[in-house]
Amino acid sequence: MTKDEIILLENRWAELLKGPKRLNEPKVSNTKITAAELQEQLLQDEEYQKWLKEKEQVRIALEAAYAEDEKPLVEDLKKAGLNITSSWDLVNTKSSYKQAIPILLEHLPKPYHLKNKEGIVRALAVKEAIGKASPVLIAEYNRTPKDKMFFRWAIGNTIYTTIKEGDVESILPIVLDRTNGTSRQMFVAALGKIKADNVKAILFRLVNDDDKAIRDEAIKALKQK
């Protein structure tokens, strides 16, 4: 399935999440009805049932599309001894997966769907990635369009875990570029972990940023100095 086909599915999913456009609304009277009575009305509503069926079909199709897109990564992770079906399995596990870090870093720049890239990024937010992941994450941030704010924010959130003092020079241009908006928030928070005079000076500048989230994060970071 192509990226465009996945986008069509995602758009349809978003529409379906708004709820069914039923021709026959549940009957409402002056007396309250029980949940069971409402459920019975919905069971008799053909438009509602049609919506319910399509919603499930689209959900299944989307999951399959994401899995197909991520297949090369999953296969490499399985070769490394990890019994998973998605990078998101790593995000949700409490077990260590040190052997996965170089594989995740190798695959992050590849043209996966953004949802799968986010899974990789979030899976890198572990201590085993400290000192290894930041350069790859920063490069991914810089090549990602600025309108993908949430994904870029997620990269900063992982940087908060992986940052080392040597990463600072690459992060400063990100936090000082106001066109990066709120996606800078966790980069600013990460700078609060670094004890360096140039970082403190930058944080003082960010206290006057246009974005309230950035201002607040800079103030919190300064309190750590």
Q: With 80 as the cut, is the pLDDT of residue 157 above it?
A: yes
Query: Cα–Cα–Cα angle for 27, 29, 33, nearest 5°?
Result: 80
Task: Copy the structure tokens of residue 210.
Answer: 């246009």
Average pLDDT of 196-210? 94
Task: Specify the pLDDT at position 108.
Answer: 98
DSSP string, the chain: --HHHHHHHHHHHHHHTT----SSPPP--SS---HHHHHHHHHT-HHHHHHHHHHHHHHHHHHHHHHHHTHHHHHHHHHTT---SSHHHHHT--S--GGGHHHHHHHTTS---HHHHHHHHHHT-SGGGTTTSHHHHHHHHHHS-TT-HHHHHHHHHHHHHH--GGGHHHHHHHHH-GGGGGGGHHHHHHHTT---HHHHHHHHHHTT-SSHHHHHHHHHHHTT-
Q: Is the pLDDT of residue 23 over 80?
A: no
Query: 88-107: per-residue pLDDT in tens?
Result: 999 999 999 999 999 999 99
- What pTM was estimated for this model as a whole? 0.87
pLDDT average, residue stretch 153-161 = 98
Which range (18-22, 28-32, 139-143, 163-167) has the least confidence? 28-32
Cα-trace Rg, the chain: 23
Between CA 77 and CA 91 the distance in angstroms is: 14
The owner of tokens 């990100």 is: 174
Structure tokens at 63: 């999951």
- In this structure, are residues 97 and 82 in contact, taking their beta carbons and an 8 Å threshold? yes
CA distances from 104 to 8, 28, 48, 90, 153 (A): 27, 53, 42, 11, 18
Identify the pLDDT of residue 30: 53
Residue type, 193: K
